[in-house]
Homo-oligomer: A and B are copies of this chain.
Amino acid sequence: MSDHTDAAVVPTSAHEPPYYAVVFTSTRTGQDSDGYQRTAEHLSRLVRDIPGFLGEDFAHTPGGLAISVAYFRDLEGIQRWRQHPEHLVAKRRGRERWYEQYAIHISRVEHAHGFARG
């Protein structure tokens, strides 16, 4: 799970493959939005300390879908993040209260490129 108040306005750069992308797509219940927001901001800071964490992109259509993509150098980093005690607690709360529906796609990036104007 992930959210930002300091929403990134620049896409995370393409890195040199291989690396991993964890795609998390969700819709929310609207229940306890404050609790969600606080937790999301806190986790967003915690994940930066995971070795191999490369960055994160987040977008949320108001009233619609949210997508977060977290990038890691290797599966060990993802595994470590998935087992982080505060992340585990948040995930349980997410299923109990916050999420209407979600999907997680853990994937290995094989090709990547970027574009910047000017």
A44 at the interface (CB under 8 A from B): no
A97 closest partner in B (C-beta): B117
A95 at the interface (CB under 8 A from B): yes
Tally of contact residues, A, Cβ under 8 A: 48
Q: Mark each residue of chain A from 83 to 118: 1 if its CB lies under 8 Å from any CB of chain B, else 0.
A: 000000000000100011111111111111111110
- When the two chains form their complex, are residues B107 and A113 in contact, meaning their CB atoms are under 8 A apart? no
Q: Considering the complex, which residues of chain A in the window 37-66 have a beta carbon less than 8 Å from any beta carbon of chain B? A: 57-66
Residues of B within 8 A of A104 (CB): 14, 111-114
A29 at the interface (CB under 8 A from B): yes
For the complex of A and B, the 7 pairs showing the least CB-CB separation, nearest first, are A11-B25, A107-B107, A59-B59, A106-B111, A59-B67, A103-B114, A107-B109
